[in-house]
Amino acid sequence: MDKLTLHEDPRSGNCYKIQLTAALLGLPLERRKYDIMRGETRTPEFLRDVNANGRIPTLQIGNRFLPESNAACWYLAEGTKLIPTDRFERADMLRWMFFEQYNHEPNVATLRFWLLFVGEGNLSKFQRDQIPAKRAGGEAALGIMNDHLAKHDWLVGKQASLADIALYPYTHVCEAGGFRLRDYPSLCGWLKRIEKLKGFVSMD
């Protein structure tokens, strides 16, 4: 396989997803760090060479660049046990990964970013006004996962898949965004199951 380099900010759960996927698969990954708070992903060089969308993560594979965390996880995991072979389960895994990007991350991760890194006092009025809707959206997403995990050990099938890896990063740190994990007991058990997977690494 070509050399793998993760262009990342280690505070980002989207970047951690890729690091975790590589670790669970035993793939060597070089890490090149940027500080998103200092605009380091918005420089002309970054936009030209790494990601025209001005964001991390981007997975560099040899001399090719693949932005979007879930696409990068898919690249790493294709043909491994982290992607189900059953056709329905594979599509169901994608369902959770799209859910992560549309229902979970924009609410759960954004509130963590605003409250932990930007600081409530530094938010714009536009951002402050969005907090209640983001809180409601995040609670709804965590509730849907919790209900599913009350009946299943894993989001899809009978073992961990990219669905679990995509949703673990921002769920396990959701309290930094004001959510309470104790309100979601089935999520807590699932988090522990992921942490016991062979090769698991914690977020920096």
Ligand X SMILES: N[C@@H](CCC(=O)N[C@@H](CS)C(=O)NCC(=O)O)C(=O)O
Nearer to ligand X among residue 12 and residue 161 (C-beta): 12
Nearer to ligand X among residue 18 and residue 155 (C-beta): 18
The distance of closest approach from Cβ of residue 4 to ligand X in the complex, given in angstroms and rounded to an integer, is: 16
Contact status, residue 156 vs residue 92, Cβ threshold 8 Å: yes
Nearer to ligand X among residue 64 and residue 198 (C-beta): 64
The distance of closest approach from Cβ of residue 56 to ligand X in the complex, given in angstroms and rounded to an integer, is: 5
Closest by CA to 30, choosing from 7, 55, 57, is 7
CA–CA gap between residue 127 and residue 143 (Å, rounded): 24
Interface contacts to ligand X, rule CB under 6 A: 12, 14, 36, 41-42, 54-57, 68-70, 101
The distance of closest approach from Cβ of residue 81 to ligand X in the complex, given in angstroms and rounded to an integer, is: 23
Nearer to ligand X among residue 24 and residue 56 (C-beta): 56
The distance of closest approach from Cβ of residue 135 to ligand X in the complex, given in angstroms and rounded to an integer, is: 19
Nearer to ligand X among residue 116 and residue 188 (C-beta): 116
DSSP labels, 98-148: HHIIIIIIIIIIHHHIIIIII-GGG--HHHHHHHHHHHHHHHHHHHHHHHH
Q: Give the residue closest to ligand X by C-beta.
A: 55
CA–CA gap between residue 8 and residue 28 (Å, rounded): 15
The SS3 call for residue 8 is: strand
The SS3 call for residue 5 is: strand
The distance of closest approach from Cβ of residue 166 to ligand X in the complex, given in angstroms and rounded to an integer, is: 9
